[in-house]
Structures are given as structure tokens and as C-alpha cells.
Structure 1
Amino acid sequence: MRGSGEELLPQTVLRQIGDKMYEKRKLAALEVEQIIKRLAQQNDQHRIRIIIDKLIGEFAFSAVANHRKGALLCLAAATVGLGAPSEAHLRQIVPPVLASFTDQDSRVRYYACEALYNIAKVARSGFVIFFPEAFDALFRLSADSESNVQNAVQFLDSLVKDVVTACPSFDVHAFIPKLRDYLRVVNPHKRQFLISWVVLLNSIPDLDMISYLPQLLDGILAILSDVNREIRQAAFGCLHEFLVDLRRIRRADFGSLTAILVDRTAATDELVRLTSLSWLGHFVSLAPNALLGQLPQLLASILSNVSHSNAEIHGQARKLSVELLGLPPGPARKDVPALLLVLHQQLSGSTCDATRLEILHWLHLLLRRAKAEVLLALPHLLPQLLDLQALGCADEVQAASLAVLAAVASCDSAHFQGVLRALLDRYRGPSGALLLQHGGSGVLRRLCAHLGGRHVFMELAGILRHEPDLGFAATVVQALNLILLTAPELHKLREELRSAATGGGGGG
């Protein structure tokens, strides 16, 4: 029985396999297909293997490019000749074809794509065992420098997608880590290739891609920042479909997703920031506990974005803050110190009125829900709140700050006195006297409006009675007298004093 490759393949075929003319290489491939087909009909597996080994050993890894091209044509033709190639056949044929995807000759790479296309078309579900290697090869060549190779990759990629979606044995669980790692690339062609795969997988009805979203979300958001408009749109569309699914099934690892989104709200790209904030806004209704579980980090993110120059980002951050403030459960008490630290740090570093106003809203909320913890942090917060009365802040910020101060003062008599003492201390010295002259009247009037004129004046009188600096006491008393005589907020107190004076005169 003849057994060598030379005996099984005519010399004319062997010469044509490596010919410089494509037409002759094609003729050789057609002849190989017919020979393999006859041997397959005879179930002569031994001779089939010998021929394939000959094509691989002598041509597929030859130093001559035309030999390599011919080998690829013939290996694909052999697969077609087999009709229904077994796994053993494919494990012999496919590896050298995949190896040719890295060939330095672009024409060889092109023929490798064409060969694998024809092999996959014949093998169908049998090809899935090579999917990891084939995907790697496609991923690399999706950014090939030659446009004809890129076009060939697109055709092959389309077929591989068809094969995968039709194969119930496709192991998506094993594939996701590879996809996750590849999503970190920055090459636009590779990004487009990867997004198309994510979209495909998410379109398969029986595949629960939401369970894999925590592994993919960060990479998709990174692709959303691509400079290419088409790629950004593809990523945005992909994210939209995931969000639709989340809103429909309302089941996911929202904790992990929240952590990713919070991190991405600090991205330099504005679309990534805006999209992340928008998703977090949807999570308020979908998974409020996931947000509350990471509230300190989320609050820091919100406060940073409230001051953003992009109106959409500012608006989305503000909207998210309002929605979180309205959540019934409120923050877990164990998170309150962390929240207060965030507010303290943001108040120290921010010069933006919008951010300051948001901080004050949160302080007011915490005073209602966790008063004891807020009062413990008061030594750090009180000076900052008083600063907002003196830094030329917007009227709205000053009013909100004073409302918080009034809420603190309302807690008990000790804090009432503490707030007033701290306020009076701001008016000491030359700079304090200037502050009292230009802004002190308004601050004291608003405090009276919040806390009651009689209460404020009586407490201030008690403090000033024991003031060792008589000059300072006289200055403050003079300011208080002017306020008492003219301020609308003290109209009721003036009436009470006038009534008391009249009653006293009648009794004398």
C-alpha cells in the first residue's frame, strides 16, 4: 500500500501548490479536494493523514511565501473534501492555519483568513473547539495594517459569530475573562471588533449576559471615550441595551456595578462621566441598597461633579443627589462618620457655590437622621459653616449655611450657646469688627428669624454680660441695638418690649 505524500499527490500537483501563479495553486487545491474526497469515501484515514501531514510539513511552514499560500488553499480544500471532518482531522488542519495569521506576508495572512473561513463553514459546530484560538487570531488581525486583510477578517468574524450563536456547547463562561481583558485595548479597530462581540452575546436570548456585566462594564465605559464617533456610538448603544435589560429583570450584582460606575464618574471623558451618573440615577429605583452601601464614595463623586463646567454633568449629579436625599432608609449609621469626613473634606477644598450648597443639604439631612454623630463632628464643621457667612458666598449658600447653624443651635441649650459664642468670636479683632460692620447684621437677623429674636437676644446678653473685653462687648451691643430697632425679623420682639415698657409705666 502506497504511503508517502509524493505517491498520493501527483508531481504536477506538488509543483502547482507552491507556484507563483494563484490560478495554478488553486488548481492544485481543487485536485487535493478530489483526492481527499475519494479517500474519505473509502474511509482511508491513514492516507488522508499522510497527505495533510505532507501539506503541513513541506509547504505550510516553508520559507517560500507562495508555498505557504498554496498550503493554506490545500488545507481548506482538504477540509471541503472530507465533507464532515472529525475532531482529529480538524486538530491536524486548523493549528497551522491559525499559525499563519501572524505571518509577516500580508497575502499569507489574507489566505489564512480565507482558509479558516472555508474550514469553519464546513466544520460548523465542530469548529467551536478552536474558538479561543480563532478569536485571538481575529482580534490581532482586526487591526491589521492591510485593508484587504481587515476585510477578510470581517467576513471570517461574521461566520464565526454565526457558528457560535448556533452552537449550544459554546462556553461563554470561559470566554468572558478573555473578553474582559481585551476590552482594555485602545486600538480603535480592536475596540470596534470587541464591542461587536459584546453586542452579539447580549443578543442571544438564552444567554444571561447581565451576570457577566460586572466583568465587562468598565471596559465598555473605557471604549465609550474613544475619539472615533462610530465606536462611541457602538459602545453607547451596547450600554443602552444592558440598561434596558437591567430595568427589565431588576436582578444583577448591583454592588459591583455601582463601584465601577462611581469610579468612572471621575473619568476625564465627559460622556463617560455623564453615562456613569445616568446609570447611577437609574440604580436609585433599581437597587437603592447598593447605592446606600457605597454612599460615602458615591457622595464624594456627586459633590465633585456638581461643580463640573458641563451643564449636563452638573444637572445629572444634582438630580442624583436630590434622589438620594429622598430615599426613605437613609444612610446606615455606621457610614455617617465616613459621610461627614467626605463633607468636611469637600467643604475645605471647594470654592464652588453649587458644591457648597449640596454639602449643606446633606448636612441638614444628617442632622435629622444622625444628630449625635453630626454633633460629635461639630468642632470640625462649625468653623467651616461660619466661614460660609464671611467668604462672599452666594446668598443661597449663606442662607443654607445659616439654616444648618440654626438646626445645630436648636439641638439643645449647650449647642445653642456654642453656636452663638462661635459666631461672636468671628467678630473679634480688626478683621472681625469689619466683618460685623459689613455682614454681621444680616447673619444675626437671619439667626433671629430661625431661632426667635427673644431667644437669641437673651442668650447673647447672657454671654456678653461675662465678656472680659468691654470694648468688644460695647461694639456688639451697639450692633444689636441697631438690629433691634430696625430689623423686620425683630418686629415681634420690639412690640413685646414696647408693651412691657407701657405696662411698666402704667403700674408706676
Structure 2
Amino acid sequence: MADALSLIPTSVLRSLSDKVYDKRRAAALEIERIVSQLAAARDHDKITAVINLLTKEFTYSPQANYRKGGLIGLAATTVGLKTEAPYHLEKIVPPVLISFSHQDSTVRYCACEALYNISKVVRGESIIYFNQIFDVLCKLFADSDSNVQNAAHLLDRLVKDIVSESDQFSIEEFIPLLRERMNVLNPYVRQFLIGWITVLGSVPDMDMLGFLPDFLDGLFNMLSDSSHEIRQQADSALSEFLQEIKSSPSVDYGRMTEILVLRAHSTDEFTRLTANIWIKDFVKLGGDQLVPYYANIIGAILPSISDKEEKIRAIACETNEDLRAIKANPAEGFDVRAILTIARRQLSSEWEPTRIEALQWILTLLRRHRPEVLPYLNDVINSLLEALSDKSDEVVLLILDIHACIAKEQQHFRQLLVLLMHIFQVDNALLEKRGALIIRRLCVLLDAERVYCELSLILEAEADLEFASTMVQMLNIILLTSSELSGLRGLLKQSLANVTEKSLFISLYTSWCHSPMAIISLCLLAQAYQHTSSIIHSLAEEDINVNFLVQLDKLIQLLETPTFAYLRLQLLDPARYTWLLKVLYGLLMLLPQQSAAFKILKTRLKTIPPYSISGKQALRTSQIMGEGDFWQDMTGNLIEGINFSMRLQQFEQMQQQHRFHRKLKSEQHFNIPTTSNEEKQKHGELPSFLDVREPPSRMSRRVPGQ
């Protein structure tokens, strides 16, 4: 200290702490001259003494003017040292950096000026303090004093130039500091950070792309800034990086994909758009690297498909198609279960396009990776069944496509229909609104005969008689009216004349007994007219209720449709189809005269040609048509192997059960608690898809002598 005092005149030291800037500047010039002489003599001990004097007596002083004098003195010392300055930086720079946190803005301004002059002299030698300088600049850009901010901008430009030309800069040491600052919300700091990212990204030998995952999220965060300028700068930086990615042979797609997936869900429209653009390009560029991230990507794409912004929707749809076109291998990290989970979650989306694409993914997985999907069916099957009540027909049809794909094997086919009956039973609204659509579609996808025979088998064992009757009535209407089931109707028309097709009639008969009108319709289709007449005559008074008359009205209407054109043509030959006439007159007698159906059927019967059966023909017919295993249909063919008497008894027994059930129900008080659909679902959850037991075989419940 004594050496320094002897070197620097007292008047100079006094002026260095003066409140007037010009006096401090003049003193600094004198210090620069003194230090320059010492440097020429390479007297580093005295130089160190001068630096210590300026630091301890001035830069660390509690008085602002002394601090300012110390800062300008240190800068002057550095200028005087010239090429010798790097040897003394460790004593010069730290006191300057400390001054940036001083509460007096004029001190902070002088610190900026001092560091600027120091850096200008030593250039690349200051890189060892880069992280501290960067940290200081980050704070100065948010300074409340505009003069300090302006000084910081000047210093920032100089430091950028130094870093750009230096080969000592360590990007590895800088990135953690950058990542830490990227979440700052101050707009000035954000501009400062974007500026540094842009500059470092433009340096040829600076591998900013390799560290992009460390600050990518921060850049995306800036896309939603309230300042248009910041949003534009962030977008420009991101665009440059994306272009660089497209031409780079090695990129860490995985870490960045995780960030993009999160940003694709942003509430900010511009952020979502940019994230989707990046994801689209990543899917095209990423290759095998992205396979483990497919589930997350799909989770981001599916909601974007229904985005309110058209551009986002278009990009998401394109990405979705590109991703689905890639045939990934589970052995390479393609997580089937994760994708199933994502797709199932999106089934509850409020947007129809998202639900549709989620179902498309499930269907794609089933078709491509069936062995890997089947073990996880229990994870999705209940969601698929619940989604059958979706308000969109397209969604429902797609769900049925998935069910049909699952049900390729007989085991899964049976399980599907059992579960479907269960959900129909607990969800009456679904049965009413979607039941017909579901059954018709399954008949197209899984073969109508196969579906109807299996449903019939299930309904045979149904303990809930009311549900069984409702279900059979619906199945019967579908059978009689749907174009999809025209082939099945054709088989039934030939079922009694063709030995190989007879089993179809037998398969449906037992369950159709739950509904008188259904069994009458079935027999009319099969042209078993004498048996139909027997069924009509067996009806008891209790059977002809409101529901029966409603169903009968529907049947009369259907008799006028193309479905029963063959039956109406048979009326041209009343001598041959006597039992058909008897059936129609029997139905007429059951209808109220004031009903429209009565008038329709009566009008139809009036159009029959006035032929009659001769006595000899009638006798021969009555002799042949006995109560045994051989009956004769109205075309003259014998029906072998069906005991219609036993079948009639079976129908009567079933109707007796229904009559008993209705009587029991009518005797109950209305205030007796019943189980709601919600309670049924709560206490009787859908059985596990893979645990549904196979129903008893048809042979075990076939009526003897059928």
C-alpha cells in the first residue's frame, strides 16, 4: 500500500474520488500513465500494489464516489498494462463484477463502463470470467435505470464479438447458466437471451444444436410472450434451428420430442402451431429414434386434430397419417400398451375427430400387432363398450369394426356378444338408440347367420325374461327390415326345404319363443304356415296385450313390404297355400277392427282370387299333415326331422313363464325398490373380457325330438 501511495500523488488520489466526473477521468489518465511506465519496466509488484490500493481504498469503499473512482482507476490500469493486463485480471475483474450489484445506479453504470474498457483491452483473455459477466448482463438488461441498460447493451455487443472470435469459450460450461435463465419472464432479459442464442448458433464451430434440448423449452415458452417482438425473435430462432436439424446427420430427437409433446398442449395458439410443425418434421426425420416416443407423440397429435385453428388441424392430420404409415416393431421399443392407453384416454374427448382417430389407432394396432394387443384387451374393452353410446354414428361404426377385428376367433366372438348383451341389459338407452345399428353392423362384419345364432344361444339362457323378449323383438325387426340381413332372410326361406339350412331355423326358434310376434314372423319367413297357425291358436288371452298388438301392427305393415313379396304372390294360389290363408285370417281376427293394420290386412285378403280347395284335396292334406316328425309345407315338400308338436309345446311353456312373470310384476307395489341401470353397473360391473365363460353348448339345451 505504501508503495502505491508513493507512486500515485495524493492530489491524483483525491481527484479520483471527486464527485465531478471530469476530475475522476483526469485522475484515471494519470494512473494509466503511471501504470504504463511500470508495465514497460515489468515491475509487476508495484502494479499489484496500485491495483490493491484502487480495490481496497476505492472499489470496496461504502462511498459511491470512491467506488466510481476505483472502477475508472481499474479500467485505466488495464489500459496502461496493455499486453501485460492478462497477468493481473484475477485482481482487476472481481471488484468490478461486485460493483454491478450496488444500489446506486451511477455505480452500476461506471461498472459497465469499466468492464467494457477492460474487456476491450484483454479481449479473449476475459473468457475465463464469461459466466459471471453473462450473469451480470442478464441482470443489467432488466435494470430499472435506462442509462445502465444502455451501457449494458454496449458491453453485451462487445462480449458477443469477443466470444464469436474466441477459441477458448466453453459452450458446455455456458449451457447450464443459459438453461437456468430461460424461464425468466422479464421481456428485456428474454430479448437478451434470444440474442445470445442467435449469436452462438451462428458461430460455425459452436455446436448449439447439440445442446438445443437444454433450452428448447425456454424458447417455446417465449412464443407466448405478450411482446410481438419477442414472439417474432423466438420464432425466428426456432426456425433456424429446425432448418439446421433437417440438414444435420445426428440429432437428439428423443429429449426434444418430450418438450414438443408438452408444448403441443399449450393454451397459446402460436405455441401449439409451432410445436405441431416441429413434431411433423420430427416424424419424417427421426426414424428409429422416435419409436419409443410414439405413444407420447400420438397423445399430442390426437387433441390437435380437433384444434380450433385450421392450420393446426391440417398439420396434426398429416402427422397422424405419416405416423400410422410407419410400421414399427415392438421389439424395437414400440410400446403397444402405451399407445392403447393413450387412445383409450382420448375416447372420452369432447371432439369427434379426436375420438375417431383414437379408434383408428386401436384398429391399426389390432391389425398389425394382434398378438401384442390381445393381452391388454381388458384395458380397453370396457371403454369401447361404453363408447357405443357415442352421439356420432361414425364413432359407433368404427368401434364395431374394432370389436369385429377382436372377434375373429370363436372364443373372442362369443365373449364379445355376451358382453354386448350385458351392456344392453344395464343400459336401456343404448339398446333403444344404438341397438339396431350395432346389430346390423356386426352382421355385416361377422356374418349375419353366425351373429344371430350366437345371440339366440345367449338369449336362450337369459334369466331376465323381459329383457330377453325386448331383445328378441328388436332382433326380429332387424331381421325383417335390414338390407344387411337379406341373405339371412333368404336362408330362412329355404331352411325347411333344405336339409343343410334347417339348423338355422332350429337355432333361432327357442329364443324367438320369448316373443309371440317374433316366432310368428320367423315361421312366416321359413314358410312353416301350418305351424304358424297352430301358434296363433295357442295364444292365450293374457298374451294379447298392448305390446303384442303393437308388434302385430308392425308385422302387418311389413307384410306389405318387398320382404314378404313372395308371401303375397303365394296368395295367388290359395288352394295350395290354405294354411297361409288361415294364418292371415287368424291375424286379422286378433286385430281391433278400428286399427289401421286391420284395414290393411282386410284389404289385402280381399284381393285373393276366389279359388277354393276341393274336398278331396282337403282330405289328402289333413291325412298327410299329422302330428309327427313328418310335416308337409304348402309347396308339397316334406319337412323331416322337426317335431313341430314339441316346438309348439316349447313355445307354450315359454309364454307361460312370461305370463307368470307379468302377473308377479303386476302384483308388486310401485314403491318396491328396483335396481337402476347405474346401480347394476356399480354392483355388477362388466365381466373381464378375457374371463367371459363360454355359454353351454346348444346341444345341451336342445329340446328332445326337435
Q: TM-score, normalised by structure 2?
A: 0.66
Q: How much has 1:193 moved relative to structure 2? A: 1.2
Corresponding residue of 1:381: 380
Corresponding residue of 1:339: 339
> Given residue 287 of structure 1, which amino acid in structure 2 is its aligned partner?
G
Distance 1:380 1:182, change over 3 A: closer
Residue deviations 1:109-164 (CA, integer Å, cap 9, x gap): 11111111111111112222221221121122111110110110011010011111
Preserved CA contact (<8 Å) 2:305 2:317: yes
Corresponding residue of 2:155: 156
Residue deviations 1:454-486 (CA, integer Å, cap 9, x gap): 332233333334444444333333322322222
Aligned length in residues: 502
Preserved CA contact (<8 Å) 1:139 1:193: yes
Q: 1:457 aligns with which of 452, 459, 471?
A: 452
The answer to whether 1:448 aligns with 2:447 is no
The answer to whether 1:427 aligns with 2:427 is no
Quote the RMSD (CA, aligned, Å): 2.6
Q: How much has 1:105 moved relative to structure 2? A: 1.0
CA distance in 1, matches of 2:265, 2:329: 24
Corresponding residue of 1:42: 41
The answer to whether 1:9 aligns with 2:8 is yes
1:271-350 aligned within 5 A: 271-332=270-331, 335-347=335-347, 349-350=348-349
Preserved CA contact (<8 Å) 2:86 2:122: no
Please identify runs of 4+ aligned residues in structure 1 that moved more than 6 A: 501-504
CA distance in 1, matches of 2:288, 2:86: 50
CA distance in 1, matches of 2:259, 2:373: 29
Corresponding residue of 1:403: 401
Q: How much has 1:314 moved relative to structure 2? A: 4.3
Distance 1:93 1:383, change over 3 A: closer
Q: TM-score, normalised by structure 1?
A: 0.91
> Given residue 399 of structure 1, which amino acid in structure 2 is its aligned partner?
L
Residue deviations 1:419-478 (CA, integer Å, cap 9, x gap): 22222333336x52x543443222222222222323322333333344444443333333
> Given residue 412 of structure 1, which amino acid in structure 2 is its aligned partner?
E
1:21-420 aligned within 5 A: 21-332=20-331, 335-347=335-347, 349-391=348-390, 393-409=391-407, 411-420=408-417
Distance 1:45 1:377, change over 3 A: closer
Q: 1:486 aligns with which of 481, 484, 507?
A: 481
Distance 1:478 1:132, change over 3 A: closer
Gap runs ≥5 in structure 2: 499-632, 639-706
The answer to whether 1:475 aligns with 2:475 is no
Preserved CA contact (<8 Å) 1:184 1:219: yes
Q: How much has 1:388 moved relative to structure 2? A: 2.5
CA distance in 1, matches of 2:125, 2:378: 71
Preserved CA contact (<8 Å) 2:78 2:85: no
CA distance in 2, matches of 1:59, 1:468: 99
Distance 1:108 1:192, change over 3 A: same
> Given residue 343 of structure 1, which amino acid in structure 2 is its aligned partner?
A
Gap runs ≥5 in structure 1: none
CA distance in 1, matches of 2:204, 2:25: 41
Distance 1:177 1:240, change over 3 A: same
> Given residue 408 of structure 1, which amino acid in structure 2 is its aligned partner?
I
Q: Report which of the two structures shows the higher radius of gyration computed on alpha carbons.
A: 2
CA distance in 2, matches of 1:378, 1:83: 77
Q: How much has 1:268 moved relative to structure 2? A: 4.0
CA distance in 2, matches of 1:345, 1:435: 21
SS in 1 for 2:195: helix
The percentage of counterpart residues that share the same residue type is: 43
> Given residue 274 of structure 1, which amino acid in structure 2 is its aligned partner?
L
Q: How much has 1:85 moved relative to structure 2? A: 3.0
SS in 1 for 2:62: coil
Q: How much has 1:173 moved relative to structure 2? A: 1.6
CA distance in 2, matches of 1:428, 1:26: 95
SS in 2 for 1:104: coil
Residue deviations 1:318-368 (CA, integer Å, cap 9, x gap): 433332211122555772233333333443x43432332122111101111
